[in-house]
Amino acid sequence: MSPEQTPEASGKSLFSLQRRERLMEELRAHGAITVRDVAARLGVSELTIRRDVNILADEGLLSRVHGGATLPSPLDRTAAGTRQHANRHCIGMVVPSLDYYWPQVISGAREAADEQQVRIAVRGSTYDAADNRRQVQALLDTQNIDGLIVAPNMTGPAGQELLRWLNSLPIPVVLAERRSPAEIPAHRLEWVATDHAFGAGMAVRHLWQEGHRKIGCMTDSASPTSSHVVRGWEQAMSALKIPVNASVSEDSAGILGADRGEHFDRILQLCHETQTTAMLVHSDTQAVAFVQHCVDRGIDVPGSMAVVGYDDEVAYLAEPAISAVRPPKRYVGRVAVQLVSARLSEGRNRPVHRIELNPDLIVRESSVGGPRAAADYAMEDSL
């Protein structure tokens, strides 16, 4: 650059903006400056430099210290933006699991919270309504919570009661991956949810395009999303004129360990009988186990049995890698935070929002290539 003599001292005076830029340059170069040095170097009075330092500190571009200034420090309590820290809102978040599906939702929520300048307090819970309520209550008790994001269990009377309770809270509540039914008086509840029915339909249409004409469905009725997956599967099947009643549709709720082998064998038998060549498997942990079982039994995936998983948490780990429907988990968290935040700042005038997001279909090995030409039973009614 031009580190010759002080070009400022040579008669030419600077505009205030240029002076502040010079000041920032010095600051960036040395990490800290003294008022006296800078004043001497720029040929102005110390008072002027102090004023500049104040202006820049107000914009958060540096931290004031006695005698000068340093680069912005997080320890600087007076720093710009810190002021809101005190009264910035805090959103409580209660999710049913901290190791499956929800970590990404939380991650998205944290991103949005940073952007929206709100704090966020997360608690893990279970898929049990009573525990959901306990965790929410714990949040409300311990912290100053201005809004809530919850993914409660909504089934049965306990679920309905929980919903009603959430609806009656004096703070905004947003459901994540849950929909408040129109029937019960929970119309004040906003929600953001993935359109799992659409995701299931996408999977079915994908399998159809790959040449499969009998497409089964394996679900886990214990999961709140399962009903939507089944509905989407049925709708897509109807649209494609595949008889739903004659198709394989199995529930794997609560089947674990040794039972699982039997269960899968039974399903494979059903597929054989109905000439089903493709399965949509809800929860891709289940899909991974199913593919593993197929491989163990010598059934080629995808040649004899194509598989599409749901959730895309672990589907890529299987061998062969499993195609899966991927819900926009990060966005579910993001949007939930945005909803709460907007509600907090806009108040009652803002209408209740209900938001559905479309998932993606991630195509991997387990579903491409279509029914194998030499398959023992899959050819008969393929195109």
Is cis: bond before 302, omega within 30 of 0? Answer: yes
Cβ of residue 23: shortest distance to DNA, in angstroms?
12
Q: In this chain, which of 7, 9, 18, 156 binds its own copies, going by CB under 8 A? A: 18
Q: Which of 109, 185, 114 is nearest to 149 (CA)?
A: 109
Binding site for DNA (CB under 7 A): 14-16, 19, 34-36, 43-48, 50-51, 54, 64-68
Cβ of residue 117: shortest distance to DNA, in angstroms?
23
Burial 140-157 (b: 16+ CB within 10 A, else e): eeeeebbbbbbbbbbeee
**62 φ, ψ (degrees, to nearest 5):** -155, 170
User: Residue 134's binding partner, choosing from DNA, its own copies, none, with beta-carbon cut-off 5 to 8 A by kind?
Assistant: none
Token couple for 360: 């993606």
User: Residue 54's binding partner, choosing from its own copies, DNA, none, with beta-carbon cut-off 5 to 8 A by kind?
Assistant: DNA
CB neighbours (10 Å) of residue 254?
A: 9
Cβ of residue 67: shortest distance to its own copies, in angstroms?
6
Give the whole-angstrom CA distance, residue 262 versus residue 352.
Answer: 47
User: Residue 358's binding partner, choosing from DNA, its own copies, none, with beta-carbon cut-off 5 to 8 A by kind?
Assistant: its own copies
63 in contact with its own copies (CB under 8 A): yes
Terminal CA-to-CA distance of the chain, rounded, Å?
74
| Touching its own copies, residues 79-98 (CB under 8 A) | none
For 156, the enclosing helix (H) or strand (E) is helix 156-168
357 in contact with its own copies (CB under 8 A): yes
Q: In this chain, which of 11, 209, 351, 383 binds its own copies, going by CB under 8 A? A: 351
| Touching its own copies, residues 283-342 (CB under 8 A) | 328, 331, 335
User: Residue 32's binding partner, choosing from DNA, its own copies, none, with beta-carbon cut-off 5 to 8 A by kind?
Assistant: its own copies
Query: CB of 279 within 8 A of CB of 310?
Result: no
Q: Which residues contact 50 (CB under 8 A, 6 or more apart)?
A: 35
Question: DSSP letters of 309-335?
Answer: EES-SSGGGSSSPPEEEE--HHHHHHH
Scan for tokens 């059903």, then name that residue: 270
| Touching its own copies, residues 237-266 (CB under 8 A) | 239
Cβ of residue 91: shortest distance to DNA, in angstroms?
30
- By beta-carbon proximity to its own copies, the closer residue of 90 and 240 is 240
For binding to its own copies (CB under 8 A), which residues are involved?
Answer: 14-18, 20-21, 24, 31-32, 56, 59, 61, 63, 65-68, 70, 73, 75-77, 182-183, 187, 195, 198, 201, 235, 239, 328, 331, 335, 350-360
